[in-house]
Structures are given as C-alpha cells and as structure tokens.
Amino acid sequence: MLNETIQLGLAGFGTVGSGLAKIIQTNQEWIARRLGKNLAIKTVLVRDLDKPRPVTLPPRTRFTTSPDELFQDPDIDLVVELAGGIEFPRHLITQSLLAGKSVVTANKHLLAEHGPELFALAAEKGLGLYYEASVAGGIPIVQTLKESLAGNRIRRLTGILNGTANYIMTEMTAKGLDFATALSQAQELGYAEADPELDIEGMDAAHKLCVLIRLAHGEDYPLADLPVQGISAVDPFDIRMAGEFGYCIKLLAQVKERSGHLQAGVFPALVAKDHILAKVDGPFNSILLEGNAVGPIMLYGQGAGDLPTGSAVLADIMALSREGCPPNNTGFPGTSLPRADILPPELTVSRHYFRFTVKDRPGVLSSLSGIMGERNISIAQVVQKRDEIREGVPVVFLTHSAPMKDASRALAEIDAAGFTIAPTVHYQIL
Amino acid sequence: MLNETIQLGLAGFGTVGSGLAKIIQTNQEWIARRLGKNLAIKTVLVRDLDKPRPVTLPPRTRFTTSPDELFQDPDIDLVVELAGGIEFPRHLITQSLLAGKSVVTANKHLLAEHGPELFALAAEKGLGLYYEASVAGGIPIVQTLKESLAGNRIRRLTGILNGTANYIMTEMTAKGLDFATALSQAQELGYAEADPELDIEGMDAAHKLCVLIRLAHGEDYPLADLPVQGISAVDPFDIRMAGEFGYCIKLLAQVKERSGHLQAGVFPALVAKDHILAKVDGPFNSILLEGNAVGPIMLYGQGAGDLPTGSAVLADIMALSREGCPPNNTGFPGTSLPRADILPPELTVSRHYFRFTVKDRPGVLSSLSGIMGERNISIAQVVQKRDEIREGVPVVFLTHSAPMKDASRALAEIDAAGFTIAPTVHYQIL
C-alpha cells in the first residue's frame, strides 16, 4: 500500500509553503499511516532560484520558475497554490484544473474575488478545489461548515478572523497604546507585515468572510457589497471608555441571516468582557456561530503562522488524496451558487456606542438625548468625562437596540445642530 | 437529482432520535439543497408502540418493534442507532453491517467497549460506521480529529466531555452548594438523569475519551485500563480553597503523548481561572488540544441535548449519503488498530493540590513539609485555615510539578505517620 506516493506540485515557498514542507518531513511516517500513502513534494515553483530557504527539501525535489512544470507534469497529482496575489494564482489554478489536477489553496483574496468562476470550473471538471487554510489558519472552520454543520441553518456567524488586527487591539487595550505604536510593535514582532493595509483596514477579514458566507449559506456575497471598516481609526480613549462600561473593542467579521436575507460586515465593535469572544487575545482567531440545530459553537486557534496554516493545507491534501472521494468544494452540489440576497446595512439592528465631543455649555446633554429620543433610540448608559488632552467634552452614550438607519439619522442631525466640535465616534455593540 | 431519497432506519426515538427527526423536518429543503438528495426516515424501531412521542412523523413512516425491519429492509440505505445500551445495539449494528448497510451511532459506551470488533467488521465490508454524536454532542470533534488535524501528532488533549458533571461543578462553585444539592437541582432541571452514575462517576467521559484516543492516536486504549475518578466526592471546601488560589475544579478527560506512550485518565482537577477551559460553564463541553503543527485548538459547544446531538448525527448521515465516498471510520486505513502503549498513571507529572486535615498541635506543618521535601516535592503555596464545621485543621499545599508516584508515596507516609485525622484530598492541577 505504501508504495503509492502522492506527488505534489507546490507554488510558493514562503511562510506557509515552508511550514507545509516542515510538517510533511516531520510527520512523514504518521501521514503515511493515516493515509496509507506517502506524500512527496515533487516540484516547487519559486520566483527566485537563488534565494536561500529555511527548509531543506530532499535532493529529488525540483525547484523551478516555470508554472508549466506544475500543471503540465503528468506525475504531479495535486497542485498546492501558496504563491499569493491574484492574477498569477488565478491562472495557475485554472490551468491546473484544465489539466485535470485538483488544487489546494490558501488564497482567500482570490477566492473572494474569483471564487464563482474557479468553483464552476472545478465542478465542471469533477475536481477538488480545497481551501481550509484560507480562513483562520489551522482552525477547521471550512470543514466544519462544509460537512459537520451541513444540516444546520447558520443564523449568525461572528469571527475574529485577522490575527494582526486582534493583536494590535489586544495590545492597545492591555497597555493603553495608540494605534501607530501598537502597529509598529506588531511589525517588529512579525505579527504585522511591512504593508499592513489589508489586515488593519479589514479587507483580509472581508475576504475570509466572503469565503465563510459561501460555505454557511451557499450564496455568493460579492466582496464589493460588503461594508468594511478597519481599526486604524480606533482611539485609545474609546478603548478606555468601553473598558469602563465592561467592554473591549475587537475587529469582528459577521454575517446574520434574517428570513433568507444576509446582513454582513467587517467592523470594530464593543464586546462584553465576559463574552467568550472577549477572551480571544493576541494573534489568535476564533469563530462563534449559531446553528438552528447545534446552537452556539465556537472554534479557537492560531489564525496564521507557518505550521498552523500548513496543517490546514495538509488536511486538504490528505482529504483529496484519499481514494476515490468525489470532491466537495463548496459544500453544495452543482456548478454555481446563487447571489446572496443582501439586507442593506441601514437595517442592521444592534446596540450602539456613541462618543460625541461637545462644547462645554449647559443644555448640551439634554439636546443630545432629545434628538436620540426623537429617533426612538433608547439610551442605556451615559458618561460625560473630561479628556485632558483634547478640546471639548466627550459624552459617551450606550444605547439599547436600534436600527442603524435611526442611529445614522440621529448622528447626522446632531452633527448638523452644531453641538459637536469633533467627528462623532460610533461603534456597534455585539 | 432530488428524485433520489436516502431512506433511514432509525433505532430509538428518545431525546436524540426525536431531535434528529425535528431537524430533518425543519431543515428538509436546506438538507436537500446541501446534499442534492432528500432524506426520509422510513422506519423507526421503538420498544413501545403506544408511547406518545414528542415529534409527529409523516404518516408514511413505519413504527416497529422488530429490529429485522431495519436491517432486512432492502429499501433502507442507512441504519441510525440511537437506542442506547450495549448488547442490543451491538447486535443491530453487526446485523446491519452484515446486511450491507452503513451505520450511524451516538453510542460511546458501545464504541469504547466493542469498537475494535465493530470497526473491523465495517472495514471488512467497506461500509461506514460513523459516530460524531458519540462525543461532545454537536461539537465536530470526531471529524476534526479524523480529517482536519489528520496530519498532526496530537501531543495533548484535554476535554470537558460530560455536561452533567460540568453543570454540577459550575453550580457548586457559583453557589457554594454541596454535591448532593447540586445533583438534585441538576436532576430537576433535566441536566442529570434519574440514575446519574455514569455521568458523575466519570465513566461517560471515559467512554468518550476512549473514542477520542482512537481518533487522535490510532490506537485502542482499553476502557478497563483507564484511570477514572468522578466528582461525587468533591467537597465544597476544596472548591472554595481552590478559588482562593485562583483555580476552579473541573472534571477533565485527558490524554498526553510522550515518546509514543499514552497517558490518559478522567479526574477532577484544578484549572486556573484565566485558563480557557475555566470559562466552559454549565452544560457546555469543550475540547482543547495541542497538535505538533496546528498548536493549540479549542472547540466549544453544547455537549448534549436533542438538537445539538441530532445535528451531529445528521452530519454523519449526510457524509455517508454523498455519492461514492468510501467511508473513513477510524481515520486510519486497515481493519484494526494496535493496542495503545500505556504509560502507568504513577509516571504522570503534574502540579498537585493536597488538603491534609491535621491535629492542631505544634510542628505538624514542619513535619508535613519535611516528608514532602524528602520525596522531592517542592511546595509552591501553603494555606492553613480553620474550617468551622470540621474537626481538625485543614492545611492545603499547592506543589510544583512532581511525578504521581512521589506524591502518592509522600501521602502514604504522611497518613502512616498519624498526623492526619481525616482522609487527605488530592487533585492534579492542570
């Protein structure tokens, strides 16, 4: 049985690629025992053949700069795309599927933007296109949604899907740092990339959310329609205020289902300190979801890193290497998924956190609360505090549940009335 | 495509069976969309045809008291065993497999005791024997170990696997109740059965641990060799003392791997209050595990109940209903697994909690710590407190890491020296 070897063609030998190679080397015998077959990396596609690599592969492994050597090689059973980017991996995956090879990828950006076309091609060819590593590193959320919770309607899914952003928010909260300082510390420690924009502005979490929505709801939610707000504008003062009310601030990715419509977004939000997601600190990721049968389920683990992400890539490779298993790519049969029926963000109902910065003069609090009342926004808690370093008086309102459109209208009216002397800060409360 | 219907034969129509039926009814269209096939319960095997049932099934569903009508019916594609017990389900599963039908079961007791024989038969017949619902209700731990983490060596797995015991420990901790009061409250609320022994004495968790060890390590760990200690002897005084040191007490099921040997057991242990497992309260279950690639991963959810457990049964039914998928029952190819290489419990190394009840006289503390020192047990914290309601003085030691055999020897010597006037309480610290 162990005479059979699954030959892999690996595109990209960065963090995840070398992590995968390390695991395959370290756990070689174990994998063979689990699978009844050996795994071997036959060819590695890299940009630069001279760059030193952190993992030494066996001498029989071929390094190449030509993608054709992956998909045109009849000996390669599976193509593993860990190159990153959009146009190149799109081409590589397409060519590999056309050449009759199943593909494993960790590329959430590509799947969020071009998933429908790639899944349609894989379905047409009857081949696998697996992507456990694309969301939340080693946490098996793709498999869980695709198989384990397949019989559930997922009512709500809330994720901490970006470890960089969560690390920065955790440090800002624990040490009172401002965003810029926390970001540069994260960069020094390797938790944030030199160009951190995708992570801190929420787009990376948005890509992952699109992948999860497809799995949970069987619908394509266009990335362009997803409201996305990052953490670069989060002020340590609001973290402190939230803390006084018993909350922390986290970057969340969320989708809720209401009578068949989906409401989704990526945004910083207040999370009660005794909520289970509040315990997810540093570079960890977590997904909390609510199925109509299973109830609440949470998965927690490392959302990035060479070995955790490599572990997820390896799970896909092993699944596709099992004999004769027809692939289950999207979790739904057929070649394409319908487009999501999107509920506009204005209809989101949640509790709200507002911080107004007002002139210090009588009657302002009463006027603010008056306008909120006219818009049917019921106030749960108020704190007015002097902030030493800023002009004006911050007034913080925590409201009861209210639709986003009423909250926005109240905000607009308050700004128009000229009470505020700085932009109002507004977060949802989970 | 939807003309095809998977016909189920269901044995048992109690909590889980009726939960499964409810989910199949409620999510019928969704399941058909996910699967490309319909699911229908053709026949339900019950003991009593006159007993009223909480779920009304379609009139075409046949109720029977004869097991033959499940496995001898050529129209039945899959047998779902939710009857409980040992000998009857063993017979039913064996006959179903012999008749060429794959089986889904939630029966951890049966799998712990007779797993090897049943899995061997399923492998021989090339049929599925799936059991996601046997451990931790709706939490997809079976699937996660079998597939998602298959490329990992699992170094350590720690679970809160019994919701009844966890509910009782949570109530004892929160309200200072004694065990008997907490148990009878749990019974009133339906969290504990009339005969709670399997739950509170740790055997239910032990059954589940045997199932998880097989999945994580590919080895059969005989139930009879598993050290099992329940919670019925836990004293609220120790919960309070543990609390003062920053710990709670939880019933844990644990397996650790050391150079190929396994060390496993079910026991109450002190868990630091800021440890992620300390947040698992009430009837919830959780599994924390450490893979050599993925690092730490935690799964959390409802460990029991009609719908959560039904959700897990349904996942297995759907997996086995997918076209042409060869089953992956144990997570390892072949017909049998080797017996685990077991490290004796005496070699377990952990920190320890000891409560000695001593006579109130000079020199006792020094003698106690002297004996500990001779056995190389290094003391981290000591508290001596008067307990109003008991004779003698309780002295609590928290130690640094020490092998169980040294701890046991020190205990025996202390007891032999006649310092203690009541049995010494001893827990591991996680």
ipTM: 0.93
Chain B (125-144) residues lying within 8 Å, Cβ to Cβ, of chain A: 132, 138-140, 143-144
Q: Exposure pattern of A62-89 as b/e (b: 16+ CB <10 Å)?
A: ebbeebebbbebeebbbbbbbbbeeebb
Nearest CA in chain B to A334: B36
What domains can be seen in chain B, in order of their start residue? 5-138+308-321 (3.40.50.720), 141-303 (3.30.360.10), 345-429 (3.30.70.260)
B299 DSSP assignment = E
Q: Exposure pattern of A230-248 as b/e (b: 16+ CB <10 Å)?
A: bbbebbbbbbebbeebebb
Contacts of B319 in chain A (CB under 8 A): 147
Best residue in A294, A316, A322 for a mutation probing chain B (most B CBs within 10 Å): A294
Chain B (200-239) residues lying within 8 Å, Cβ to Cβ, of chain A: 218
pLDDT, one tens digit per residue, over B264-307 is 999 999 999 989 999 899 889 999 999 999 999 999 999 988 99
Residue B293 to residue A318, Cβ atoms within 8 A = no
Of the partner residues B34, B148, B305, the one whose CB lies closest to the CB of residue A332 = B34
> pLDDT in tens for each of the 430 residues of chain A?
457 999 999 999 999 999 999 999 999 999 999 999 999 999 999 999 999 888 899 989 999 999 999 999 999 999 999 998 999 999 999 999 999 999 999 999 999 999 999 999 999 999 999 999 999 999 999 999 999 999 999 999 999 999 999 999 999 999 999 999 999 999 998 888 888 999 999 999 999 999 999 999 999 999 999 999 999 999 999 999 999 999 999 999 999 999 889 999 999 999 999 899 998 998 899 999 999 999 999 999 999 889 999 999 999 999 999 876 789 999 999 888 999 999 988 888 999 999 999 888 888 888 888 898 998 899 999 988 776 777 888 999 999 999 999 999 999 998 888 888 889 999 999 9
CA B261 to chain centre: 21
Contacts of B362 (CB under 8 A, 6+ apart): none
Query: Does A283 reach chain B within 8 Å, measured CB to CB?
Result: no
Contacts of B291 in chain A (CB under 8 A): 138, 311
Question: Does the pLDDT value for residue B1 go beyond 80?
Answer: no
Query: Amino acid identity of B384?
Result: Q
Query: Does A150 reach chain B within 8 Å, measured CB to CB?
Result: yes
Chain A (325-344) residues lying within 8 Å, Cβ to Cβ, of chain B: 325-326, 328, 331-334
Query: Does B89 reach chain A within 8 Å, measured CB to CB?
Result: no
Give the other-Cβ count within 10 Å of B424's Cβ: 17
Query: What is the distance in angstroms between the Cα of A40 and the nearest Cα belonging to chain B?
Result: 14
What's the token pair of residue B144?
């996660």
Query: What is the distance in angstroms between the Cα of A369 and the nearest Cα belonging to chain B?
Result: 38
What pLDDT score was predicted for residue A1? Answer: 44
Give yes or no for a contact between A41 and A313, defined as CB atoms under 8 angstroms apart: no
Best residue in B311, B317, B318 for a mutation probing chain A (most A CBs within 10 Å): B311
H or E element that contains A373: helix A364-374
Best residue in B39, B144, B148, B160 for a mutation probing chain A (most A CBs within 10 Å): B148
* Alpha-carbon span B370 to A334, nearest angstrom: 73
Query: What is the distance in angstroms between the Cα of B74 and the nearest Cα belonging to chain A?
Result: 25
Least confident of A104-113, B189-198, B255-264: B189-198
Query: Does B25 reach chain A within 8 Å, measured CB to CB?
Result: no
Query: Does A294 reach chain B within 8 Å, measured CB to CB?
Result: yes
What pLDDT score was predicted for residue A2? Answer: 57
Give yes or no for a contact between A219 and A334, defined as CB atoms under 8 angstroms apart: no
Chain B (58-77) residues lying within 8 Å, Cβ to Cβ, of chain A: none
Q: Check: pTM over 0.90? Answer yes or no.
A: yes
Question: Does the pLDDT value for residue B3 go beyond 80?
Answer: no
Residue A152 to residue B311, Cβ atoms within 8 A = yes
pLDDT, one tens digit per residue, over B74-83 is 999 999 999 9
Active-site option among B42, B101, B208, B250:
B208
CA-wise closest residue to A166 among A248, A233, A242, A245: A248
Nearest CA in chain A to B23: A293
Residue B311 to residue A291, Cβ atoms within 8 A = yes
Best residue in A3, A147, A280 for a mutation probing chain B (most B CBs within 10 Å): A147
Nearest CA in chain A to B215: A34
- Chains A and B form CB pairs within 8 A to the count of 201
Query: Does A33 reach chain B within 8 Å, measured CB to CB?
Result: yes
Catalytic residues of A: 208
Of the partner residues A149, A323, A326, the one whose CB lies closest to the CB of residue B315 = A149
How many helices (H) and strands (E) are present in chain B, helices listed first?
14, 16
Nearest CA in chain B to A142: B148
Query: What is the distance in angstroms between the Cα of B169 and the nearest Cα belonging to chain A?
Result: 19
Q: Are strands B402-403 and B393-399 parallel, antiparallel or unpaired?
A: unpaired
Residue B293 to residue A279, Cβ atoms within 8 A = no
Residue B269's Cβ-count burial label (10 Å; 0-12, 13-18, 19+) is buried
Give yes or no for a contact between B5 and B40, defined as CB atoms under 8 angstroms apart: yes
Query: Does B2 reach chain A within 8 Å, measured CB to CB?
Result: no
Averaged pLDDT score across all residues of chain B: 93
Question: Does the pLDDT value for residue B389 go beyond 80?
Answer: no
What pLDDT score was predicted for residue A120? Answer: 96
The residue to which tokens 């012999």 are assigned: B98
